[in-house]
Amino acid sequence: MVDHRALIVALDFDDMDHVLQLTDQLDPAMCRVKVGKQLFTRVGPQAVEQLVNRGFDVFLDLKFHDIPNTVAKAVIAAADLGVWMVNVHASGGTSMMRAACDALAGRQDKPLLTAVTVLTSMAESDLAEVGFHGAALGRVLDLAKLAESAGLDGVVCSAQEAAELRKIVHPDFALVTPGIRLKGDAAGDQKRVVEPAAAVSAGADYLVMGRSITAAADPLGVVKRIQLSLAPV
């Protein structure tokens, strides 16, 4: 069943004025929001706190990748902010991911912990430059299995890999998919893009969308239209 708040709106802004202007036009009952490096670096933890206080589930997308102890402390700090989801890089390895899981274990307010597999901005040629030869899919599958075995709640991946991932991971293992675009939208710096309904059909649980919604004249109207397109026929 598709989560009625499967949409995660990426708040890629430099200041809270723009963020609040946009979120005033959104409904936290219909979507979640994502705070990434751009906004968090400019504004800091108060960006998350203000959004949580406005009733939004917040995905803190900082992609932690460091030694296990540092990542463990970072995910605790994220949980203390009241985030709904936080992520790490799967390429940090099993020890790092398990440290993050252990750090959150037993918390009543435990956020979902997900791992980035391969950035949706990367094509096979980009992977080859950093020493990974072959199709992106193989790398994604390997990292997803590693993340699941480490105890994480899901992975961040392209919806292009979702169908194959669904064959190897538990049904409750969440697939969070950036690179979602409406028909006719520019791909921008994303290389592995998919339309919303196709992503859900492939097995995606959550769809991260930015400019398709944030640059629209009626952001909530776009959210509602996307939700309708995802509803079972």
100-119: pLDDT as tens digits: 999 999 999 999 999 999 87
Domain spans in the chain, listed from the N-terminal domain onward: 7-228
By percentage, how much of the chain surpasses pLDDT 90?
Answer: 79
- 63 assigned to active site: yes
Model pTM score: 0.92
Binned at pLDDT 50, 70 and 90, residue 1 comes out as: very low
**Nearest Cα residue to 180 out of 208, 206, 216:** 208
**Tell me: the pLDDT tens digits for 180-218?**
988 766 555 555 568 999 999 999 999 999 999 999 999
CATH of 7-228, one of 3.30.1330.10, 3.40.50.970, 3.40.50.2300, 3.20.20.70: 3.20.20.70
Sorting pLDDT into bands at 50, 70 and 90, what band is 94?
very high
Which residue out of 34, 63, 145, 191 is catalytically annotated?
A: 63
